[in-house]
Amino acid sequence: MWKLLTNAKIYNPELIEDTDVLIVGRSIAALGRNFRLPDYVEGEVIDLQGKIIVPGFIDAHVHICGGGGEAGPSSRTPEIQLSELTRGGITTAVGCLGTDSISRSMTELLVKAKALEDEGITTFVYSGAYQVPMRSLLPTLQEDLVLIEKVIGAGEIAISDHRSAQPQIAELEHLAAEARVGGMLGGKAGVVHLHLGEGKRGLQPIWTILEHTEIPITQFVPTHINRTHSLLQDGIQFLLAGGHIDFTAGCDDFPTELKVPAVLAMLNQRQILNDRITVTSDGNGSMPQYNEAGVLIGMGVGLVEVLWRDVRESVLHYGLPLEVGLRTITSNVANVLRLINKGSIRIGYDADLVVLDESLQVQDVWALGKCMVSNKQPKVWGTFEKRANSFN
């Protein structure tokens, strides 16, 4: 069935002149103006009346099979459900493990990723967890990258954090080298997605590797760079040296200047908000709070909806151009992770689309050509959401 979305403002993520999008199957078949469906096809025309169409959001850091566990078994967060992602405009998610790779496993992560894809969105995974040496599906990370389609890199590997395995430089070097070669052989990005804690070393272990090896700076994607003021400054230097950096949305207890909206605005003002900057939600993971002695004093669960919430706030309240904010969760992510046919509205690309209303709220969501959310309500539910919904 063909679908024609008409009379829209289309951000690609840049604003383009076209107003109509033709979807055939899972892909964008045409872009233009004043389209009409031919009489010989079965199709649906949806008049968007001037609303905005943007690329489906890519969240490159989601604990899809749950996270947490730092306060014992009862603090393990549950698996994410499909509508949690789609309501937030997320049409592509990259799953990862966190602190717990004992009760959570790479097998569980991969199967959950496949389940979400069966339900209608696109998924990938990182191989590993906080620990080094890392846990992979096959005997080595290289084999994971070459032989398992969904594995696109290693992560999230923890450094500068009291919960990390305190990896030695040589271990991180070997991991990065494996990721690089495995990525080359498998045609993948092969990045090392790094969890940064509040430790005083910050990015120093990575700077040391870059100084003493031939591994390029683009092999690393450090996240949580807005965790502390010192880490933010370290991250900016990493960016200026040619590296990728990733900011975490939803950090509501952070000082204002470290929250994503203010950070994006600051970088834009300094004219360094480039295509190597991304934003992720850390969604569905635990949000532990520790005191200065490292004792757990609180626990929350991250929400994926904060991804667009924070980027939207940067546009509405900090004056960031819409296309600039969009890049951090669409085209930039696709480029950094080498996600083919994702992150943009182009002919031949996957029909992953988000319709925004006048206040830039997510109204409709299309994933691989299928309408997942309409008028802010899910049209497609996850397998067990259907069962739960039937009792309401």
What lies within 8 Å, CB to CB, of 365 at 6+ separation is 56, 86, 87, 89, 91, 353, 354, 355, 371, 372, 373
E-state strands within 109-172: 122-127, 151-159
- Residues annotated as catalytic are 282
Query: Token pair of 51, please?
Result: 């609303």
Distance CA 367, CA 131 (A): 34
- The angle at the Cα of 139, spanning 137 to 144, to the nearest 5 degrees, equals 50
**Using the 8-state DSSP alphabet, how is residue 258 labeled?**
G
**Using the 8-state DSSP alphabet, how is residue 112 labeled?**
H
Task: Decide if 9 contacts 19 (C-beta within 8 A).
Answer: yes
Alpha helices in 62-149 (DSSP H): 82-87, 106-119, 141-147
Task: Decide if 31 contacts 345 (C-beta within 8 A).
Answer: yes
**Using the 8-state DSSP alphabet, how is residue 19 labeled?**
-
Burial 113-133 (b: 16+ CB within 10 A, else e): bebbbebbbbbbbbbbbbbbe
